[in-house]
């Protein structure tokens, strides 16, 4: 795997911190990662058991950090919104799943990503880390 640039690594760190900041974010990311497919917006909202307003805010935050992807699918005379984990979201989901099931980080993470994860769990933030060139 190619080394991460400083900007890409920092965006990963910020996205990881964002997902850790709220249980509903973690649940959404893990659910989408485990499903391995697009889920309809309403299907995911019901799984999360959140109010429509709160779920919409959670989805917008995850979209803003490129943790999930949204696509609009035409269904006859109406449109459905489908959600899936982005590449970054799948990576974060795999970290959370691996930690919860095995207690270890996935071997597919590179050194920089592992440092961001360790920093997040030790109480630091992505602002505290510099990426070696």
- The alpha carbon of 17 is separated from its chain's Cα centroid by a whole number of angstroms, namely 10
d(CA 117, CA 129): 11
Domain with 111, as residue range(s), is 6-120
Could you read off the pLDDT of 62-116 as tens digits, one per residue? Answer: 999 999 999 998 888 899 999 999 999 999 999 999 988 888 888 887 888 888 8
The CATH number that applies at residue 104 is 1.10.10.10
Q: Structure tokens of 26?
A: 């973690």
d(CA 92, CA 77): 36
Tokens 């099931």, residue located: 101
Between residues 44 and 113, which one has the greater pLDDT? 44
Looking at residue 34, its pLDDT comes to: 94
Q: Is residue 57 part of a domain?
A: yes
Q: Is residue 70 part of a domain?
A: yes
Q: Is residue 126 part of a domain?
A: no
Burial (Cβ within 10 Å: 0-12, 13-18, ≥19) of residue 88 = buried
Number of domains in the chain: 1
Q: Is residue 93 part of a domain?
A: yes
Q: Is residue 15 part of a domain?
A: yes
Q: Is residue 129 part of a domain?
A: no
Q: Is residue 89 part of a domain?
A: yes
Q: Is residue 128 part of a domain?
A: no
Name the pTM for this structure.
0.82
């Amino acid at each position: 795997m190619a080394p991460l640039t400083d900007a890409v690594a920092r965006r990963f760190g910020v996205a990881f911190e964002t997902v850790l900041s709220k249980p509903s974010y973690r649940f959404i990311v893990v659910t989408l990662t485990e499903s391995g497919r697009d889920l309809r917006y309403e299907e995911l909202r019901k799984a999360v058991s959140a109010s429509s307003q709160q779920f919409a805010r959670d989805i917008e935050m995850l979209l803003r950090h490129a943790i999930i992807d949204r696509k609009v699918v035409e269904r006859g005379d109406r449109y459905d919104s489908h959600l899936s984990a982005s590449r970054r979201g799948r990576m974060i989901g795999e970290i959370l799943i691996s930690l919860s099931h095995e207690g270890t980080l996935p071997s597919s993470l590179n050194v920089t990503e592992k440092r961001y994860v360790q920093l997040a769990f030790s109480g630091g933030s992505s602002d505290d880390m510099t990426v070696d060139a």
